[in-house]
Amino acid sequence: GNSVTQMEGPVTLSEEAFLTINCTYTATGYPSLFWYVQYPGEGLQLLLKATKADDKGSNKGFEATYRKETTSFHLEKGSVQVSDSAVYFCALNSGGSNYKLTFGKGTLLTVNP
Amino acid sequence: NAGVTQTPKFQVLKTGQSMTLQCAQDMNHNSMYWYRQDPGMGLRLIYYSASEGTTDKGEVPNGYNVSRLNKREFSLRLESAAPSQTSVYFCASSEGSGAGRVNEQFFGPGTRLTVL
């Protein structure tokens, strides 16, 4: 079956530090890959997505590249801000089960000024 | 355009009580979903509705029922609440499967449920 493994948190960084949150997946077919962000007390929002191998998703300074050879979709940002403090979820949608998303367990990021 | 709305935002129940969580979307999406979120567990799918008139079990359906009332609305019912159902519940919607569709999901703000 499909599964997503992302690095466990919590992750604590200082403002302007470089961020990487690792995500690897197992899936049948050719999945689409997503990063969602959840700010405190809110629902999940789509941060970025990639639909095929070597695609790079980007939004708000965050980037992730779909690496089929390593089955990975790591999230990166060059310079984090306090406002980036949130929980980040990696997810996939397999072409074989197109209605459902499979989520990782989430990574809590705290950015200190 | 409100996106996905959920009511209520907060609810406290006693063990054995029943309640219905409401969800509506105004994006003309075909598919709708109910998740629960618990600390350290991520999001787990309870039920989903691929299209109007259909519902299917997800990963953790026990203790819940759903109704796809129409294309816009998808409700989640707890018939006899238990403390293990204390959680944050999220509704989501997506266009649904089909050629060229990525099936990105849009989430509501959540309902925080406590069962005493």
Condensed to tens digits (0 to 9), the pLDDT of residues A54-71 reads 999 999 999 999 999 999
**Radius of gyration (Cα) for chain A, nearest Å?**
14
CB contact under 8 A, A98 and B103: yes
User: Does A94 touch chain B if contact means CB atoms closer than 8 Å?
Assistant: no
Q: Going along B8-86, which residue ranges are E strands?
A: 10-13, 19-25, 31-38, 42-49, 56-57, 64-68, 74-78
Assess contact for A102 and A95: CB atoms under 8 A. Answer: no
Average pLDDT, chain A: 92
Instruction: Report whether pLDDT(A98) > 70.
Output: no
List the single residue in B48, B90, B103 with the smallest CB-CB distance to A44: B90
Kindly report the nearest CA distance between residue B82 and chain A, in angstroms.
23
**Per residue in B4-62, pLDDT tens?**
999 999 999 999 999 999 999 999 999 999 999 998 778 999 999 988 989 999 989 99
User: Does A43 touch chain B if contact means CB atoms closer than 8 Å?
Assistant: yes
Assess contact for B27 and B106: CB atoms under 8 A. Answer: yes
List the single residue in A49, A99, A100 with the smallest CB-CB distance to B102: A49
List the single residue in A32, A99, A103 with the smallest CB-CB distance to B42: A103
Confidence band, pLDDT 50/70/90 cuts, at residue B100:
low
B41: DSSP letter: T
